[in-house]
Amino acid sequence: MSYNNNTENKPESSNERRKLFVETFGCQMNVSDSEVVVSVLRGTGFELAENPGGADVILVNTCSIRENAEKRAVNRIRQHLGEKKRRRGVIVGVIGCMAQRLKEQFSENGIQVDIIAGPDSYRDLPSLIAEAGTGQQAVNILLSREETYADISPVRMDKNGVSSFVSIMRGCNNFCSYCVVPHTRGRERSRDPGSVIREAGELVDAGYREVTLLGQNVNSYLWRNSSNGEKVDFAMLIERVALELPGMRIRFATSHPKDLSDKLLHTISRYSNICKHIHLPLQSGSSKILKLMNRGYSREKYLERVGAVREIIPECSLSTDIIAGFCSETEEDHLATLSLMEEAGFDFAFMFKYSERPGTGAAKNLDDNVPEEVKIRRLNEIIELQNRLSFESKKTDKGKIFEVLAEGASKKSPYDLTGRTSQNKVVVFPAENHKSGDYVNVEITGFTSATLTGKAKNKS
Ligand code: SAH
Ligand code: SF4
Ligand code: F3S
- Read off the pLDDT band of 7 (50, 70, 90): very low
Per-residue DSSP letter, 126: H
Q: Tell me, what's the pLDDT at 1?
A: 30
Query: CB of 61 within 8 A of CB of 96?
Result: yes
Class of the CATH domain delimited by 158-275 = alpha beta
The reply to whether ligand 1 has any atom less than 6 angstroms from the CB of 257 is no
Does the pLDDT of residue 16 top 80, yes or no?
Answer: no
- Read off the pLDDT band of 160 (50, 70, 90): confident
pLDDT single digits (tens) 425-452: 999 999 999 999 999 999 999 999 889 9
Does the pLDDT of residue 339 top 60, yes or no?
Answer: yes
Q: Which of 221, 239, 237, 321 is nearest to 278 (CA)?
A: 321
The pick from 323, 348, 379 for probing ligand 1's pocket by mutation, whose C-beta has the most ligand atoms within 8 angstroms, reads 323
- In 298-430, alpha helices (H): 299-312, 331-344, 361-365, 372-395
Q: Tell me, what's the pLDDT at 51?
A: 92
Class of the CATH domain delimited by 14-140 = alpha beta
Give dist(CA 216, CA 220) in Å, integer: 9
pLDDT single digits (tens) 346-390: 999 999 999 999 999 999 999 999 999 999 999 999 999 999 999
Q: Tell me, what's the pLDDT at 359?
A: 97
CATH 3.30.750.210-classified regions of the chain: 158-275
Class of the CATH domain delimited by 401-456 = mainly beta
Higher pLDDT, 392 or 2: 392
Q: Tell me, what's the pLDDT at 11?
A: 41
Total Cβ atoms within 10 A of residue 303: 17
Query: CB of 347 within 8 A of CB of 425?
Result: yes
Expressed in angstroms and rounded, the spacing between residue 48 Cα and the centre of ligand 1 is 31
The reply to whether ligand 2 has any atom less than 6 angstroms from the CB of 219 is no
The reply to whether ligand 3 has any atom less than 6 angstroms from the CB of 27 is yes
Q: Tell me, what's the pLDDT at 15?
A: 55
CATH 3.30.750.200-classified regions of the chain: 279-396
pLDDT single digits (tens) 175-234: 999 999 999 999 999 999 999 999 999 999 999 999 999 999 999 999 999 899 999 999
CATH 2.40.50.140-classified regions of the chain: 401-456
Q: Tell me, what's the pLDDT at 110?
A: 80
Query: CB of 407 within 8 A of CB of 369?
Result: no
pLDDT single digits (tens) 318-331: 999 999 999 999 99
C-alpha angle 271/276/279, rounded to 5°?
A: 130
Ligand 2 atom at shortest distance from the alpha carbon of 179: 1
Give dist(CA 103, CA 96) in Å, integer: 11
- Read off the pLDDT band of 9 (50, 70, 90): very low
CATH 3.40.50.12160-classified regions of the chain: 14-140
Does the pLDDT of residue 5 top 70, yes or no?
Answer: no
pLDDT single digits (tens) 136-153: 999 999 999 999 999 999
Longest Cα pair distance anywhere in the chain, in angstroms? 71
Q: Ligand 3 atom 1: the closest Cα is on which residue?
A: 27
Q: Tell me, what's the pLDDT at 158?
A: 78
- Give the pLDDT mean for 84-111: 92
b/e map 96-106, b = 16+ CB within 10 Å: bbbbbbbeeeb
CA 156 to chain centre: 15
Give dist(CA 296, CA 21) in Å, integer: 40
The reply to whether ligand 2 has any atom less than 6 angstroms from the CB of 169 is no
The reply to whether omega before 267 is within 30° of 0 (cis) is: no
279-396 is a CATH 3.40.640.10 domain: no
Expressed in angstroms and rounded, the spacing between residue 97 Cα and the centre of ligand 2 is 14
Q: Which of 393, 362, 184, 217 is nearest to 297 (CA)?
A: 217
Does the pLDDT of residue 83 top 90, yes or no?
Answer: no
Does the pLDDT of residue 22 top 60, yes or no?
Answer: yes
Does the pLDDT of residue 13 top 80, yes or no?
Answer: no
pTM: 0.94
Query: CB of 60 within 8 A of CB of 23?
Result: yes
Q: How many helices (H) and strands (E) does the chain have?
A: 13, 21
What percentage of the chain exceeds 70 in pLDDT? 96
Tell me which ligand sits closest to the C-alpha of residue 362.
Answer: 1
* Mode of pairing for the β-strands spanning 169-170 and 163-167: unpaired
Q: Tell me, what's the pLDDT at 344?
A: 98
Query: CB of 168 within 8 A of CB of 211?
Result: no
Q: Which of 29, 83, 30, 76 is nearest to 54 (CA)?
A: 83
Give dist(CA 402, CA 397) in Å, integer: 9
- Read off the pLDDT band of 157 (50, 70, 90): confident
Expressed in angstroms and rounded, the spacing between residue 175 Cα and the centre of ligand 2 is 6
- Reported in sequence order, the residue ranges of 75-230 that DSSP labels E, i.e. its strands, are 91-96, 115-117, 138-140, 163-167, 169-170, 189-190, 210-214, 222-224
Q: Ligand 3 atom 4: the closest Cα is on which residue?
A: 27
Query: CB of 32 within 8 A of CB of 165?
Result: yes
Does the pLDDT of residue 269 top 50, yes or no?
Answer: yes
